[in-house]
Structure 1
Amino acid sequence: MTEYKLYDDQHLVQLMRSDERAFAEIYDRYWDKMLGVAYNRLGNLEEAEECVQDVLYKLWKLREDLDLVSLELRSYLARAIRNQAFNILDRRYRERVKHGNYTPTEDIYLLSPERELIIRELQQQIDDSINALPPQCQLVFKLSRQQGLSNKEIAETLNLSENTVKSHLKKANKDIQGNIKLLTTLVFFYTFL
């Protein structure tokens, strides 16, 4: 009996044309990975399973014509999952629009307690970063971002040159971004992964 686990992907693709056990090995080898990717994109286990099943069904239907000489099976399946997930998301969007249940801002206002906490922590980190700026730089930043004054208006108000105002804003942005970079990275991983 042939041990399909020992074959590489290219060989399995070739064998799959005449032996469904090779397809079963591809299924076993990639099901969990594909399901994980689909679930991350769709956020719904049922739809993710449907997505993976559709991709594997298409792979089976195309087995006679499939030529993966220049592309690895892993890359092919990843791209197929991504495209199928986009199709499902598009279908989901069209159904919501069709039934009139879609408002673009609807999800923004539905914050979980975890997301509210993350937003509060991020805002606190930004405030702390602003307060850590040198006094002149802090004043320029607040006039620009909080009061909406232009660089020229700030320069006239504080009796500074526009280039000095630009320098202060550049420094403020750099310092604030540097201070919140770790927190935003953590927020990103928590939210999207």
Structure 2
Amino acid sequence: MTQEELLIQIYKKDDRAFTLLYDMYSKSLFSVIYNLIRDHEEAEDILQETFVKIWKNIDSYDESKGRFYTWILNISRNASIDKLRSKGFNNRQKNLSSDNFVHLLDDSNKLNHKIDTIGIKEFVKKLKPKCIQILDLLFFKGYTQQEASEELQIPLGTIKTQNRNCINDLRNFLKV
């Protein structure tokens, strides 16, 4: 089934389409979520929440504004960032034992290896140093544009413009 056919079935709320949607995208979305959250159980919860949001909000997807994968990726990323900012999550993180941190470091190295194997980091490395810095904060570390602005001490408008330009540069590399 093509992505277009899948979207048609999702719009019709076909249950089989939901299963196929999950099968097609759950692994990649989980990787993005886990990279931000660093907690396996929380990442699974957010993944489930993400698919429910996709299912319920499919009518808000607009092909003219971007690819479907980008849309669902943003839903998962935003849900992860919301969880990171929640008071309950932050309190639980303060109470973690040191054993969890060793596990997190191991998982982080595995995830970085996965990102390397699909080649994203290689393309990012080809960008200008400022783009590498901005994309690292926004996409690999989960910063908001406001937080990246503060971290880099660059005006918010400049971060937004540079982010857009960096993404366009990255798209050009990927087209080759």
TM-score (norm 2): 0.48
**Higher relative contact order (CA closer than 8 Å, sequence separation 6+):** 2
Structure with the bigger percentage of helix = 2
